[in-house]
Structure 1
Amino acid sequence: MQSAEHTSNRRSKNRHYRSEKRKTNRKNKRRREIKPDTNTVTNLSSNELTDAQLSLLAKGLTFCPTPNNINMNELNSDIYAFKRRCRLAYEFNSKEKKKEQQKIGETPAKEGPFPKKKSEYQPAPGQSQTLELFLSAVEKDILNESNWKRTWPNLTMPEQRALNDLKSNTNIVIKPADKGGGVVVMDKSEYIRKCEEQLNNDTYYTQLESDPTEKYMTELERAIQRWKRKKWISHSIAKELIPKEPKPGHFYGLPKIHKDGIPLRPIIPQCQALTSQLSRYVDYHLQPIVKSLPSYIKDTNHHLEDLQNNEISPNTIMVSMDVVSLYSNIPNEFGIQAVKKHMIDRNITNPPPELISEMLTFILNRNYFEFNGSSFYKQWVQQWGQ
C-alpha cells in the first residue's frame, strides 16, 4: 500500500516538475536575447532603430502577429461557409448533377475576359439527417470554449512595444525593397520628395486640378454606347465594361537599394480604376498574340529552356540591356498601330481591330492616379518624335 502511495506521489511530483519546467522554458523563450538580422533591413531614415525594431522588421512585411482574441464574426462566417460547402457537395454529389453545379457556379469558372459572378445559392438544410448531425456536432465542438487552446504570442514583449512605436511614428515610411525581399525604412519627407521628383517630370506626367473620375466616367459610357451601336460588343459585355465605384490608381514607389542614389520604382495599382475592366478585356484578347511572337519570353525559366533547346555558337556573346522608363517612352500612337497591324495580319475580326484600337486609345488617354491622398496626376500621351 505504501509502495503504491509512494509511486503516486512520485508521479505527481514529476508532473509538477515537468509543468514548472515548461513554464520556465516559455519565459526564457520570451526573454531570449534579440538578434536582429541587419542584412534584410535597410534604415535610410534619420531615426536610429532599436534592436527590437530591427528584429521585428526582419520578420518581413507579410509577418502576422498572433491575435490576442478570437474574432467571433470571422469564426462564425467560416463555420457558415463550411456548412454551405458540405450541403452543396451532398446536393450535387451525383455525376448527373455536375452540369447543374457548374451552372450554379460554386467554383466560378472563367468564361471570356470576365470571371463569372460567384453564386449566392443556398442549399436547403435538412436533406440529410446524418449530415446535419455531423455539422451540428462540428459547430458545437468549435464554439465550445473549453476546447480552445491558449495561443502564445509570436512576438517578444520588446517586439510588441516596437510594433506600437513604429505604427505611431508618422515621420517614417516602411516599404519593401524593389529587389531582394528586404525592408526599407525612409524618412517620410524624403520619400515624398523622391516621388514628387518623378511626378514633376513634365515629359511623362502632368498635375490635374481635380479628380477627373466623374468626367471620364461619362466619356466611358458614351464610348460603350457607340461600340454597342456598331455591334462591336454585346449588351452583356457592355455591362461588364462599366466599373462599379471606380477609384483613381494610387502612386507609390519601391526603393531600389541596389542602385546609386536609391531611386524609386513607380508603382500604380489600377485594380479599381475606371479603365480596369477595359484593360482586362483588351489583355484577354491580346494575350494569344503576344504569346505567339517569336520574341516572347514568359520568365527566366522559359528563357533558360530556350537556351537549352537551341544551339548557340561558342563565339556568341550574351548581352542584357535595361531601358530607362520603358513603358513611358513607348509612343502610344506607335504602340496602338503595332497592335492593330498584328491583329490584321492574323485575320482577327472578333473583336474588330478597330475596337481594340479605340479601347487602347481611351485607356492610355485617361491614365490618371492620385498621390499622397490629395494630388491627381495624368500620364502624358507620347507622340511621334518625343
Structure 2
Amino acid sequence: MNLFKDLRENYGRNAVRDLRSLENTERKISRFRCHRVFSLRAKHSGLIPTSLKLKCPINSVRARDIVKKAEKALLNERIRVISNKIRYLEQEKTRLNTDLKSRDVNKELSIQISRHVENSRENELQYVRARQTRKLKELAEKQDKSANNNANKNNSHAEPDLSGTQLKRWVKNLSKYKLSDAQNRVLARGLGYGVSPDNLTHSSIVDEHIVACERACWKLPKPEAAQLRAEIVGTLKSAKLPPSNIGKDERVAINQLQKEESIMVLGADKGRATVVMDKTEYQQKMSTLLSDSKTYEKLDRDPTPKHKRELVSILQRLEKEEKIKKADKQFLYPTSENVPRIYGSPKIHKDGTPLRPIVDFTGSIGYNVAKSLADILSPIVGQSEHHVLNSKSLAEDLKDVTLEDDEILNSHDVVALFTSTPIDLTLHILKERLNEDKDLKIELSSLLMT
C-alpha cells in the first residue's frame, strides 16, 4: 500500500509501527463496543451468553437459583470489564494519535491516515456487529426452544391427540355419563398431572408446606425451629400465584367431574390411561371381591388400637435390647392411626374390566415400619434364579428356547397372589436369606420375627 510505503520512506519504520498500532487499537475498540452492546442486550432480554453458562452440580431448586444468580453476576462483571477495556483503548488511541502528529506528517498523508483508520474501524464494526447480532438472535431462539421443550416436558399431556384411536387410548369411558370435550382433555392429561392452583391462600400446597415444616421442626432445637417457621411463613406470604397451566373450560370441567356423584374416575391398572366407571358398577365389583371368604375375613371391630399397642411394645423392647436406636424408634413409632383403605384399579386390557385390589397403607400405624422393611429386603430382591425383571428380560431369556412339536409354552394368570402367599413360610425364607448374606448391615432384623 502506498500509504505505508510513503510513511516508511518519509518518517521511518517507527511511524508505520504507530499507524499499525493505531489501526489495531481502533479495531479492538470496535470489537469491544459491539461486545458490550451484545452483553447489554442479553442482560436486558434476560439471556445468558453460552460462554457464561454454568453447570449446576446439585439437582435442587435452590442450587439452580444460585447458579442463575451467579450467571447474571458474571454477565454484569463482563460488562464492567469490557467498559474498562474500552476506556483503556481510548487512552491508547489518544496516545498513538499524539505520537503520529508529533512526527509532523504532511497534510495529504494525514488525510490518508485518517481515511485508512476510519475504513478499518468501520469494516471491523460492520463485521463484528453482524456476528454479534446473529449470536444474540441464536441465543434468544435457543432459549425459546429450551423453554418450549421444558413446557412440553412438564405438560407432556397438556394437549393430547383426542382424535380417533388416541381418545380411546388415553380416556376409557365405561360409564353411561357422556364426557364433554373439555372433560376429555382434562382426563387425557392423566391423574398425576399437577394443576396449578388458582388461589394460594386456600391451596393444599400451602397446607403441605406447613405440615412438612412442622414435622421438620420436631427434630430441631427450639431456636432453629422458630427460625425455620419464620422463613417458611415469609416465603409463603411472598409467593406469587403461578400462571395457569389449564384453560378456564378445563377448570370448569374438573369441578363438574368432582361434583358428579354417578361416576368414578380411576387410573388404569396398566399404562397411563384414565378410566371412567359408573359408581354402582365399581361398588358392585368391589363388593364381589371382598365377599371372597377365602381371601378376606370380616372383622367385628377395628383392630388398629390393638395393633398399635403391640407395635409400641415391640419398639420399646427393641430399643431396650439396643437392637434399634432411639432415632429409629421415633421414626417407626406410629403417630397416626389411619385405617388402610382398599380400592380397585380397572384392568382395561382384560375382558369385563376386572378390578385389581390395592390397599393404601399411607398414614397407617405400620407405614414407616413397612418402608424400613422394604429397605432391609431390597438387597435380596431379584437374587433368585427364577426372578424375571420385566417382559423384555423374559423375552431375552426365552429367545434361545426351542419348543418341540409336542411341547407348548404355558403362562399362568395367578389370582390373588399376595393374599394367597403363606406368611409363615415367607418369613422363614426371608430370615434364611438375610442370615446367609453376611455383608448386610441390618439394625432392624428382629422386626422380621414379629
TM range (shorter): 0.5 to 0.7
More helix by share: 2
2:329 to 230, 238, 258: 238
Whole-angstrom CA distance in 2 between matches of 1:212 and 1:233: 26
Single out whichever of 347-356 and 61-70 deviates more from structure 2: 347-356
The corresponding residue for 2:268 is 177
The residue matched to 1:186 in structure 2 has which SS?
strand
The corresponding residue for 1:42 is 172
The corresponding residue for 1:26 is none
**Preserved contact between residue 42 and residue 183 of structure 1 (Cα < 8 Å):** yes
1:188 to 272, 279, 290: 279
Alignment of 1:267-278 (within 5 A): 267-278=358-369
2:402 to 315, 330, 334: 315
Whole-angstrom CA distance in 2 between matches of 1:333 and 1:325: 17
Residue type of the alignment partner of 1:315? T
Give how far 1:286 is off.
2.0
Deviation track 1:40-61 (CA, whole Å, cap 9, x = no partner) reads 2111212222333223322322
Whole-angstrom CA distance in 2 between matches of 1:70 and 1:240: 31
The residue matched to 1:205 in structure 2 has which SS?
coil
The corresponding residue for 2:425 is 334
**Preserved contact between residue 224 and residue 238 of structure 1 (Cα < 8 Å):** yes
Q: Which runs of 5+ in 2 are unaligned?
A: 1-160, 208-215, 228-234
2:306 to 204, 210, 215: 215
Deviation track 1:148-174 (CA, whole Å, cap 9, x = no partner) reads 99x5673253x4433332121112110
Residue type of the alignment partner of 1:335? T
Aligned CA distance change for structure 1 residues 121 and 190 (closer, same or farther; 3 Å): farther
Give how far 1:269 is off.
2.0
Deviation track 1:281-336 (CA, whole Å, cap 9, x = no partner) reads 322222222244444444456x27x93xx896462687654322221111111111
TM-score, length-scaled by structure 1 = 0.57
TM-score, length-scaled by structure 2 = 0.49
More strand by share: 1
Equivalent pairs, count: 272
1:61 and 2:165 matched = no
The residue matched to 2:247 in structure 1 has which SS?
coil
The corresponding residue for 1:90 is none
Residue type of the alignment partner of 1:267? I
**Preserved contact between residue 176 and residue 254 of structure 1 (Cα < 8 Å):** yes
**Preserved contact between residue 61 and residue 176 of structure 1 (Cα < 8 Å):** yes
- Greater length-normalized contact order (CA 8 Å, ≥ 6 residues apart): 1
**Preserved contact between residue 232 and residue 351 of structure 1 (Cα < 8 Å):** no
Give how far 1:354 is off.
7.3
Give how far 1:35 is off.
5.8
**Preserved contact between residue 197 and residue 244 of structure 2 (Cα < 8 Å):** no
Alignment of 1:163-174 (within 5 A): 163-174=254-265
Residue type of the alignment partner of 2:178? E
**Preserved contact between residue 241 and residue 278 of structure 1 (Cα < 8 Å):** yes
Percentage of pairs with the same residue: 28
| Bigger radius of gyration among the two | 2
The corresponding residue for 1:250 is 341
The corresponding residue for 2:72 is none
The residue matched to 1:268 in structure 2 has which SS?
strand
Residue type of the alignment partner of 2:414? V
Q: Which runs of 5+ in 1 are unaligned?
A: 1-33, 78-105, 107-115, 126-138, 360-386
Residue type of the alignment partner of 2:246? N
Whole-angstrom CA distance in 1 between matches of 2:306 and 2:344: 28
The corresponding residue for 1:379 is none
Residue type of the alignment partner of 1:38? L
